[in-house]
Amino acid sequence: MAAPYSSPLAAGLAEDLLERFLRYVRVDTQSARDRERSPSTPGQLELSRMLVGELESIGLADAELDEHGYVYATLPATVAADAPVIGLIAHVDTSPDAPGGRVQPIVHRGYDGGTVRLPRAATVLDPADMPVLGSKAGHDVVTSSGDTLLGADDKAGVAEIMAAVAHLAAHPELPRPTLRIGFTPDEEVGEGATLFDVERFGAACAYTLDGSQPGELQDETFSGVQVTITIDGVDVHTGWATGKLVNAARLAARVLAALPADTLTPETTSDREGFVHPFEVRASAGRAVVRMNVRDFDDELLERHVALVRRTAEAVVGAEPRAKLGFDVQPQYPNMRRHLEQFPEVVARAERALRAEGIEPVRVPIRGGTDGSLLSARGLPTPNLFTGGHEYHSVREWASLQDMASAAAVIVHLAEAWAAP
């Protein structure tokens, strides 16, 4: 059965795209939390240097790696200069939530639609648990060997941009505005956009390629904050503790137990509902630190969730006058919608590009953030497009070559959609 490409253009881009993708995923670019420098890990620089070299050999002479580990490059326009400059962005790092070193990708040519058993760690991809995988019979499916993530998040996006840009550079007869390419580090640890040089990038708008299913066009993300609760107890040798010890670890456990468990958690909510997600507890008798992600699409509701956490912590810790409570709220990213609404053309032209590839746009809000959340707030409107990758941040991560090729083809159409006013 012939592999179902969405167009001859996608079919023509596929092999270059796959070659790049397989090369990029082999570089260990896992990012690290609580970073002390940018990028957080040296592997990211290795891939970024590789990308600069490849951009140069495609003909993007100004390709550069800046002091924070961001790659920037320009593909000049083939149409009159009044077309706006358009950005294409993907992140080079992979998630710290699953093993990410020594990725050995496997290409399952002409996937039969059944269960995929990977050679390591007894990892199984079962279409019964992953209906989207089951729908890709006939595709060339790429997986890891089972003991690492694949890194399609977001090397699929990186490879798609590279393949599309190589194609456009080799075809100056195709209409395109000036394209700016940006590859970012440390997206997975929430720092992808923080040191992004919006001025130097100089684009009117941009697109991240960091979604999943074909058609996804995301112009709405969660707003996110991180709450850190610090509880100081009174630590006394247990032999002399009578009437003196105040156990911070027990107080932290009580705060967590007092938070709603049947609602307002990631595991009990969906669609447009927000949540409170404690993801790290470090506790001793003397001191406990609890970190939580708080999310909602609606900023007012987000504030209410934070207020609930605060009231709960104050009630529990306040009942023990010898304990001390610290409460810190750090903004992480804002919902991009209110920033994108002012520039309807950004989404409209992406819809045009998707339809030019025969793909119907699917507008779903992202239950998370992207580089585009912060970039949009910083004045660079940046919605998100699909990449063809799935089951991110796990050893079951997989990607369809046919869908990745569709994404690369959509980039080529996007250039055309912005070439005319």
| Residue ranges binding Zn ion (CB under 5 A) | 153-154, 210
Supply the angle between the helices 8-25 and 42-58 in degrees, to the nearest 10.
Answer: 140
CB of 89 to Zn ion, least distance (A): 11
Looking at the Cβ atoms of 361 and 369, the one nearer to Zn ion is 369
Residue owning tokens 């092999």 = 15
CB of 40 to Zn ion, least distance (A): 15
SS3 401: helix
Looking at the Cβ atoms of 191 and 210, the one nearer to Zn ion is 210
Rounded Cα distance, 391 and 381, in Å: 27
CB of 97 to Zn ion, least distance (A): 12
DSSP characters over 297-315: SSHHHHHHHHHHHHHHHHH
Please enumerate in sequence order all residues whose Cβ is within 8 A of that of 364, keeping only pairs 6 or more positions apart, or say none: 216, 218
SS3 19: helix
Report the amino acid identity of residue 134.
G
Rounded Cα distance, 85 and 75, in Å: 10
Candidates 162, 165, 107; CA nearest to 139 is: 107
Looking at the Cβ atoms of 83 and 385, the one nearer to Zn ion is 385
C-alpha of 275 from chain center: 19
CB of 370 to Zn ion, least distance (A): 7
CB of 187 to Zn ion, least distance (A): 6
Looking at the Cβ atoms of 264 and 399, the one nearer to Zn ion is 399
Token output for 112: 């039969």
SS3 379: coil
Looking at the Cβ atoms of 177 and 383, the one nearer to Zn ion is 383
In the residue annotation, 28 being an active-site residue is answered as no
Q: Indicate which residue of 140, 153, 187, 357 is catalytic.
A: 187
Q: Contact, 210 vs 388, CB < 8 A?
A: no
Looking at the Cβ atoms of 296 and 397, the one nearer to Zn ion is 397
Rounded Cα distance, 115 and 181, in Å: 38
CB of 244 to Zn ion, least distance (A): 49
In the residue annotation, 219 being an active-site residue is answered as no
CB of 215 to Zn ion, least distance (A): 18
Q: Contact, 372 vs 208, CB < 8 A?
A: yes
Q: Indicate which residue of 28, 54, 93, 160 is catalytic.
A: 93
- What are the beta bridge partners of residue 106? 143
Token output for 197: 């040089």
Looking at the Cβ atoms of 154 and 391, the one nearer to Zn ion is 154
Rounded Cα distance, 52 and 40, in Å: 19
Catalytic residues: 93, 187
